[in-house]
Structure 1
Amino acid sequence: MVRELFNGIAERYDLANRLISLNLDCCWRRKACEEALKAISPEGGKISVLDVACGTGDMLLCLRKKLDERGIEAEFYGLDCSENMLEVAKRKVPFARLFHGFAGDMPFGDGSFDLVTVAFGVRNFSNRKKGIEEIYRVLKPGGVLAVLEFSRNPSTLGRLAWFYTKGVVPLIGRLVTGYGEAYSYLVRSIEKFPGPEELAEEFERVGFSTLKARWFFPRIAFLLLLRKDR
């Protein structure tokens, strides 16, 4: 179901994101990339980076820019279940190796990556525990995971952000993409998704340690930064 929803909005997905978030989605990705790269300690040579649920490649673009700024060479990989999103990504991130697949059964060997990112994708895992276990498996010992996600926040600002998300986002999404169900699904998935502390516990049960959990303005998006200790 999720694959079909994203296949239906792929060509106008980026435009819809910019309009709906007032371009804040770019800011959230940039901050997530910066925080993730502070946590890694490359020891010379290239690092390997995987973006799970890579969509149209926005996170891969951001990661490449930030790594270039630090003078760190990297090999980039993306994984997504939507064929149409990957077709868009191929045009945007020709430097990355892109794979069609699912988080719960990734086509990569054990300990393949120094850094894994998931931007607004964990909510869409059909089996979240299996997806978390697979991310743990493909990370190298000491590797870093950055999760960028949406959830409800009980603060005043968070409640205002949720009011906008629930009432306005589906309308804009329908106008821009002609596929309103995808954005109604977005609202439903956020409503029942755990916040950063509860989500961190799910990752810790698999073996991750939490490095940082923080909300981004306007307290509808959050970053969870984790490390594979062994």
Structure 2
Amino acid sequence: MVRELFNSIAKRYDLVNRLTTLGLDKRWRRKACEIALTYVDVKKPRILDVACGTGDMIMCMRKRLERRGIPAKFYGLDCSERMLEIAKKKVPFAELKVGNAEEILFPDGSFDLVSVAFGLRNFSDREKAIGEIHRVLKRRGILLILEFSRSESLLGKLTWFYTRSVVPIIGGILTGNREAYNHLWRSIETFPSPEELSMEFEKRGFKVLTMEWFFPRIAFVMVLEKV
């Protein structure tokens, strides 16, 4: 279902993201990359972006590493073929594969950093996916999670109202698939809080290094280390 959903909206996925977040999605990715990369102390890191979509996170990380003069090898994994078709044009330097987080087709200890941006909510078996991410990370490797969740602050409640009521209308008009954007808020509604999520990761061999809400408290970043 998730694969078909993202295939159906792939062509206008980036446009809807920019419009519905007023461009904040780019700022969230940029800040998340900056935070996570401070923990990566490797001369030539190998980086995997799981649920890579159209490649925005890969591009973001590459720009930041280039500014520091650090060469990196990038890989992307996504279940949607149409999203990857767009990603291949945006990030031709990355090795992109069709696949699922529950079965990552790379050897143990392959990566210095794994990122998942707005994809964790869509995993069919989150426990298995976390185990796979843990497996392909090197010891003391870094995991970057950028995700949506609900905040009980006033600003968070206002943003949640917008996400639930307005975003599906805009997304539906631009893509012709309003149900895809109803899925967005439904997946957020049932997703754990950052605190609950951190406990899930800690039970499966990770240590939380930092967690931070981003304005307007609908998205958060969590950076973890494999222990």
Q: TM-score range by the shorter chain?
A: over 0.9
Q: In the alignment, which residue of structure 1 is the partner of 2:10?
A: 10
Q: Partners of 1:68 and 1:196 in 2: how far apart? A: 30
Task: Give how far 1:108 is off.
Answer: 0.5
**TM-score w.r.t. length of structure 1:** 0.98
Q: In the alignment, which residue of structure 2 is the partner of 1:82?
A: 80
Q: Which runs of 4+ in 1 moved over 4 A?
A: none
Task: Give how far 1:195 is off.
Answer: 1.4
C-alpha RMSD of the superposition: 0.5
Q: Deviations over 1:69-99 (max 9, x none)?
A: 1111100000000011000101110000000
Aligned length: 227
Q: Partners of 2:132 and 2:68 in 1: how far apart? A: 29
The partner residue of 2:91 within 78, 88, 93 is: 93
2:159 is paired with a residue whose SS is helix
The partner residue of 2:195 within 197, 206, 211 is: 197
For structure 2, the 5+ residue unaligned runs are none
Alpha carbons 1:112, 1:139 under 8 Å: kept: yes
The partner residue of 2:62 within 47, 64, 77 is: 64
Is residue 2:124 matched to residue 1:126? yes
Q: Deviations over 1:45-69 (max 9, x none)?
A: x110000000000000001000101
Q: In the alignment, which residue of structure 2 is the partner of 1:34?
A: 34
Q: Which amino acid aligns with 1:48?
A: R
1:39 is paired with a residue whose SS is coil
Alpha carbons 1:52, 1:118 under 8 Å: kept: yes
Q: Partners of 1:224 and 1:29 in 2: how far apart? A: 12
Q: Deviations over 1:84-136 (max 9, x none)?
A: 10001011100000000000001101000000100000000000000000000
Q: Partners of 2:185 and 2:152 in 1: how far apart? A: 16
Superposed counterparts of 1:1-230, under 5 Å: 1-42=1-42, 44=43, 46-229=44-227
**TM-score w.r.t. length of structure 2:** 0.99
Identity over aligned pairs, percent: 64
Task: Give how far 1:41 is off.
Answer: 1.2
Q: Partners of 2:47 and 2:208 in 1: how far apart? A: 19
Alpha carbons 1:209, 1:226 under 8 Å: kept: yes
Task: Give how far 1:40 is off.
Answer: 1.2
For structure 1, the 5+ residue unaligned runs are none
Q: Deviations over 1:161-214 (max 9, x none)?
A: 001001100000001111111100001000110111110111110000000111
Alpha carbons 1:196, 1:214 under 8 Å: kept: no
Alpha carbons 1:197, 1:213 under 8 Å: kept: no
